[in-house]
Amino acid sequence: MPADIPFLLDPQALFDGAPCGLVVTREDGTIVRSNQTFSHWIGCDAPDLVGRRFQDLLTMGGRIFHQTHWAPLMQMQGSVAEVKLDLLHRNKRIITMLLNGVRREHESGAFYELALFGTTDRDKYERELLNARRTAEALLREKTAAETALQQAQTALNDAYEKSQRRASFAEQMVAIVSHDLKNPLTAIRMASDILAQSERSAKESKMLEHISRSTDRAERMIGDLLDFALARIGRGIAVNPDWLDLHRFISQSIDELRVAFPQATLLHTSNGSGRAYLDADRVQQVIGNLVANSVAYGDLAHPITIVSEWGDDQSVISVHNHGPAIADALVAALFEPMTRGTETDSDVRSVGLGLFIVREIARSHGGEVAVSSTAEEGTRFSVHLPHPE
């Protein structure tokens, strides 16, 4: 044997220095031997423990447990394992230990060999596990509550969305119905004013008839925009019936009609290229009318409004340019949305804010798009790009 490990060969040293408490008792619990580890844990000298009963070192609860549980087990099965006991330290504080024991028969009688282990670290670990479990359970409850609240909020949001959709659909249908029904009395007003205009009238009466005619035109444009808006919003879109037409001649004729509708503005027309385009004439005329009306409402009428028609190999482009204040960058992104205007300036010819929305929808119905550029130096230009059919 190596000479440097004599400690391992000394049974007494192994017993006294064991990393657990070792106690030997008689069947009645009288201690006949204990090691230094155990005596140190409970604050007594090993010789002082000899002759004392092991159960006297326990708390009241430990004594009851000893009498009713582990002592009978030792007698019946000859061993116990990991029995948790509370012992009293010499200074009366409680020390919790785990006990493993076996019963051995000797010539002089039966003895209990007990090994006791401190539970401080184990209890700490168990407390940490318990706290971690409680924390996890609390987080799980919070997560479950949050998911429930989120689901309830989502359900409420879906209900609110469906309700708002139904209300919006109903409102749009009502707009379409009312707008359509307004056409009949407006037609009667126009016919009556046309008949009255054919007879001789005073200058004042003629002026009043002219106001009636212009107001009727404006009301009809507004009703047309509202009808188109309602159709677009309920998913039907703006219907187009294209046909082949001479682009520049048609634009020129449309501008002649607009000069009558807007006598206060100077309308100029220039054209580039030459060819026929496949377009819905009424809808394109509506596009030009809305863009010109927009220019009259917001542009500087001291300068002319220029309408340019361009025919190219793959598309036709119609642009309307006016001088005046630039449209703010913040408004450009939403300019073609319904109920949106580029300025808060009031105007007699301004509509309900659907003109540019209708222009965009008509362009899209033709497979095209509309763009805008606006600066204080160059003015404002709306360009409608309408691709040719392949």
47-68 per-position pLDDT tens digit: 999 999 999 999 998 899 888 8
Task: Find where tokens 């703010």 sit.
Answer: 328
Q: Where in the chain is the domain with CATH 3.30.565.10?
A: 243-387
Looking at the chain, the domain(s) classified CATH 1.10.287.130 span 125-233
Is the pLDDT at 8 greater than 60, yes or no? Answer: no
- Residue 170: pLDDT over 90: no
CATH says 243-387 is which class? alpha beta
Q: What is the mean pLDDT of residues 300-326?
A: 93
pTM more than 0.75: no
**Is the per-residue pLDDT at 288 higher than 70?**
yes
CATH class of the region 6-118: alpha beta
Query: What pLDDT was estimated at residue 1?
Result: 47
Q: Which of 166, 228, 216 is nearest to 186 (CA)?
A: 216
Question: Quick check: 338 pLDDT over 80?
Answer: no
The residues of the chain that CATH labels 3.30.450.20 are: 6-118
Element (H, E) at 168: helix 120-198
Q: Is 8 helix (H, G, I), strand (E, B) or coil?
A: helix
Question: For the chain, how many helices (H) and strands (E)?
Answer: 11, 12
DSSP state of 201: -
pLDDT of 4: 56
The pLDDT of residue 23 is: 94
Whether the predicted pLDDT of 374 surpasses 70:
yes
Lowest-confidence segment of 129-133, 144-148, 265-269, 271-275 by average pLDDT: 129-133
The structure tokens listed for 96 are 């919790």
DSSP, collapsed to helix, strand or coil, labels residue 327 as coil
> Which tops the pLDDT comparison, 217 or 316?
316
**Fold classified for 125-233:** Helix Hairpins (1.10.287)
- Mean pLDDT calculated for residue range 124-133: 80
Mean pLDDT (whole number) for 153-168: 82
